[in-house]
Every structure is written in C-alpha cells, then in structure tokens.
Chains A and B, each alone.
Chain A
C-alpha cells in the first residue's frame, strides 16, 4: 500500500492514517481472508502482526498516537479462542483501563478501538475497518498527544 495514495473521492479529501495491531492467529488471518475473498475495505490501515493481543503494550498505542497515526485498531481472538489460552482475557482487562485513561485525559473515544475478529470472519474484518476509518475520518487529524516535529 503506497503512502502517497490519492483520495478516491473529492468530497473526502483527508484520509486518516490508521495502525492496526492484529493477532496472527485470528484477525491477521481474518484480514487475509478478506483479501482473498476480494472484500473491499478502506486502504487506510497499516497492519502490524503480533503473536497475541496480549502482546500489545499500552505504550505501543500511545507511541503511535504520538508519532503521527490518527487512529489505532487492536484486534484479537474472541474470548475462549486464544491460542495461548488466556492472552486475550488478560489483554481485555488492560485495554479497559487503557481506554478509560485515554478518554479521561481527553483523547477522543473513536481514536483507539478494539475488536475481536476470528480467522473465518473476513466480512467482519472489513466491517470493522470501515467503521474505524469512518470514525477517525469524522474526528479529523489527531491533535492530542501528538509530538511536534
């Protein structure tokens, strides 16, 4: 996906840059399925493949917001499906606190989103990406926590 991609429509001139942390056992395969099934979804996400949603340190999210991403999507396995038994359960608690903290200091709720997408849910993956892209587009470019360059 090239960085300099032109906006497709004139009425949506600004395209957000979104980073997606995807669990390799489910959401990453879900994204792959969406691809091979030729399901269309916005090209705004940049995927980072992680071994488990439990691998995601809240600092990753903060650092992404600080360094130019307008939105962050984190996606892992449905409860009960974790390859490592409990990685997503532990992550769920961590994310709940992270989300609370971010919203409390004033980062808009739509900027950082979480989802469960299994390897068979290509359709759902596309829907999630559409929703996140739409939400971040509505919010506009990230201004909070962003480090001036």
Chain B
C-alpha cells in the first residue's frame, strides 16, 4: 500500500488537474525537525510537497475564512484531521464558509507531537534529526530523535499533545474523500480523564495554578491567532473605545482575557490544542477549556463540530434548562 503522503499527493494532483478545486490547504515539511508548516497548494507540481504525519499540528481550518476571502469564487480543498474537520464544521454552522465551496480531504490522525515534551526528554538539547513512524497504521510507535551527541528512541504516547491523549474523534466527521482508511475506535482514555485530577484540587490550588499561568502571559495573542474559531474582525481585547480592560501584563487582566476567550469559544471549541501549542511561553490553560466543554456536554448535551444540523448551544435555549444555581 502506498504511504499516506504518496496517496495524499496523488489525490491532490488529481483534484487540481480535474479542476475540482483551485487550491488546497495542506502541510509541508517545516524548516525545523518535528515541525511542519501550513502550505497553500495551487499547482500540481506543488502538490508533490504535501505531507501528513505526527508533526502536522496546525489547525488548518484557521486559514479557511481568509483564503476564501482572498480567492473569491474559487473552490478550496483542505486537508483535515479530526479536530480540523470539526473546526470546519463549526465554521460552516457559523456561516463563515459555505459547504459547497470546500472539499474536505480527510486524513486519519494518530495524534500530533508536542515539541515541548520532546525537548524535556532530550534534557533541553536541540533536536537535529528525527524519524517518525510512517502513517497510517504501520503499527510504528517509535520516534527516533537525534541531536548533538545523543540518539534516543521515544514512545509516541510519551510525546503526544495532552489533547491528543484523550481524543475521541481522530477522523473528520465530514469529508468528501478520505486518504487511507478512517482510524477505528477512539483513544482508550476518557476525554475528561486529565480533568478529573485537576478537579480534585481545592479552589485555592486551582487559583494558584491559573494565576501563575496567567502571570506569564505576554499578551502576544498567539493563542487567539492560532484558534480557528477566533475569526472576529475586531477582538474585544483590541477595542479601545471602550477599552474593556487593561492592556498590560497584569495577571488580573491577562487572566480575564483568557477567561473571556474561553467563554467566547464555549460550545464551539473542539479541543484541538492549537492555542496551547502556539503559546511562546508555554502557558497551559487547557483545563479551563476542557472544563467548559464538559459543562456544555453535561448541561446542553452538545459536542462541538460533529454535525451540521445542530444549533450551537449558546445560540439557542431550552425552556427546561437546568437552573439549580439561580436563586
């Protein structure tokens, strides 16, 4: 069987040659090991550089609204792993893109590598060469990392992103064609498993955690810029009239920024982890997002990005919603 990269390139060439799509958003090899970079393919020749592997971490749905605006009238192909596909569904529901304007190329995702975890394993040493297990389903779990004076083998599970460990939807819920075979079953781990531990902490401990994380925030807004659902033309943090809250690095301001962003993405966030991976200082507020996702699921019975038919929970209501917290 041809490797997933070969199949992907072949299908991409075909789509472009048959004029099914005008351009394709995908990944190509990045300039650093363990990194891939988003790639806009317009010619059959360029399609030869497409890849999909454990390093394809960016959520490509982010580029969809912008590419769509810049290329009016063209049909866009997009390579989607599970979370990208769910983000695309959300974008369609929210009217940002039209279903008929996009061709979703599904790929079976086995998780993406968290480069921070790898760096920890190498003791902070720079990784110069890697060899990854070839997808799909080669059964390969080992990742070989080489650097100056070391060569270690890591188990895939040890270095996958936290969100990938509890991933329940490795395949996009909606696709026009699929590369390889959809991955069967979901992660053995419960999606809210990591959260349980966190919920056992006392209120004080949780506060210390969140305040510490927020205090390191440098307000670069990389998290917002990496998020496929943060597509507002003017974000509330950029508004100056009224200026909703301070722009400095004060931990109260930064924490409020993150809380409000979490509230804005409530019932829409697909837990792709793009915000955590984008953060230059390694802030991990994922527990807050997962907690809200859990609340939305329990309270409103909704999981984001799975169906085009359901109205997002915060855009609608039910007269019989629980209201135990209201006096």
The interface of chain A, by Cβ under 8 A from chain B, is 58-59, 62-63, 66, 79-80, 86, 89-90, 92-108, 113-116, 128, 131, 144-148
Contact indicator B327/A96 (Cβ below 8 Å): no
Contact indicator A115/B327 (Cβ below 8 Å): yes
Residues of A within 8 A of B259 (CB): 62, 101-102, 105
Residues of B within 8 A of A148 (CB): 250, 252
Contact of A114 among B253, B256, B299, B325 (CB under 8 A): B325
Closest chain B CB from A29 CB (angstroms): 17
Residues of B within 8 A of A79 (CB): 319, 323
Of the stretches B20-28, B29-37, B175-183, B204-212, the one at the interface is: B204-212
Interface residue tally on B, bucketed by range: 35 or more
Closest chain A CB from B285 CB (angstroms): 9
The interface of chain B, by Cβ under 8 A from chain A, is 203-204, 206-208, 210-211, 236, 244-246, 250, 252-253, 255-256, 259-260, 262-263, 266-267, 287-288, 291-292, 295-296, 299-300, 313-314, 316-319, 321-323, 325-327
Q: Give Cα A23–Cα B228 distance, bound, in whole angstroms.
A: 35
CB contact under 8 A between A96 and B299, given known A86-B317, A89-B321, A115-B326: yes
Residues of B within 8 A of A147 (CB): 246, 250, 252-253
Contact indicator A92/B326 (Cβ below 8 Å): yes
Contact of B263 among A58, A89, A106 (CB under 8 A): A58
Contact indicator A106/B206 (Cβ below 8 Å): yes
- 23 inter-chain pairs at a CB distance below 8 angstroms, sorted by A residue, are A58-B263, A62-B245, A63-B245, A66-B245, A66-B252, A86-B317, A89-B319, A92-B326, A97-B292, A101-B266, A101-B288, A101-B292, A103-B203, A105-B206, A105-B210, A106-B206, A106-B210, A114-B325, A116-B326, A116-B327, A144-B211, A145-B252, A147-B253
| Given A63-B244, A96-B323, 4 more pairs with CB closer than 8 A | A62-B245, A79-B319, A86-B317, A89-B317
Q: Give how many A-B residue pairs fall within 8 Å (CB-CB).
A: 112
Closest chain B CB from A31 CB (angstroms): 14
Q: Chain A: which residue is nearest B291 at the CB level?
A: A104
Q: Chain B: which residue is nearest A97 at the CB level?
A: B266
Closest chain B CB from A20 CB (angstroms): 12
Contact indicator B321/A92 (Cβ below 8 Å): yes
Residues of A within 8 A of B325 (CB): 95-96, 99, 114
Q: Chain B: which residue is nearest A105 at the CB level?
A: B210
Contact indicator B291/A113 (Cβ below 8 Å): no
Residues of A within 8 A of B318 (CB): 89
Residues of A within 8 A of B292 (CB): 97, 100-101, 104
Q: Give Cα A131–Cα B327 distance, bound, in whole angstroms.
A: 10
Residues of B within 8 A of A101 (CB): 259, 262-263, 266, 288, 291-292
Closest chain A CB from B72 CB (angstroms): 34
Q: Give Cα A54–Cα B224 distance, bound, in whole angstroms.
A: 26
Q: Give Cα A27–Cα B325 distance, bound, in whole angstroms.
A: 17
Closest chain A CB from B259 CB (angstroms): 6
Residues of B within 8 A of A98 (CB): 263
Closest chain B CB from A144 CB (angstroms): 6
Contact indicator B314/A97 (Cβ below 8 Å): yes
Residues of A within 8 A of B326 (CB): 92, 95, 114-116
Contact indicator A92/B250 (Cβ below 8 Å): no
Q: Give Cα A115–Cα B244 distance, bound, in whole angstroms.
A: 26
Q: Give Cα A58–Cα B203 distance, bound, in whole angstroms.
A: 21
Q: Chain A: which residue is nearest B248 at the CB level?
A: A147
Closest chain A CB from B326 CB (angstroms): 5
Residues of B within 8 A of A94 (CB): 263, 314
Residues of A within 8 A of B256 (CB): 59, 62-63, 66, 145
Residues of A within 8 A of B250 (CB): 147-148
Q: Give Cα A108–Cα B206 distance, bound, in whole angstroms.
A: 11
Q: Chain A: which residue is nearest B289 at the CB level?
A: A101
Contact indicator B327/A100 (Cβ below 8 Å): no
CB contact under 8 A between A90 and B317, given known A66-B245, A97-B292, A108-B203: yes
Contact indicator B260/A62 (Cβ below 8 Å): yes
Contact indicator B317/A96 (Cβ below 8 Å): no
Q: Give Cα A101–Cα B288 distance, bound, in whole angstroms.
A: 7
Q: Chain A: which residue is nearest B267 at the CB level?
A: A97
Q: Give Cα A145–Cα B266 distance, bound, in whole angstroms.
A: 21
Q: Give Cα A99–Cα B324 distance, bound, in whole angstroms.
A: 12
Q: Chain B: which residue is nearest A66 at the CB level?
A: B252
CB contact under 8 A between A80 and B291, given known A115-B326, A145-B256: no
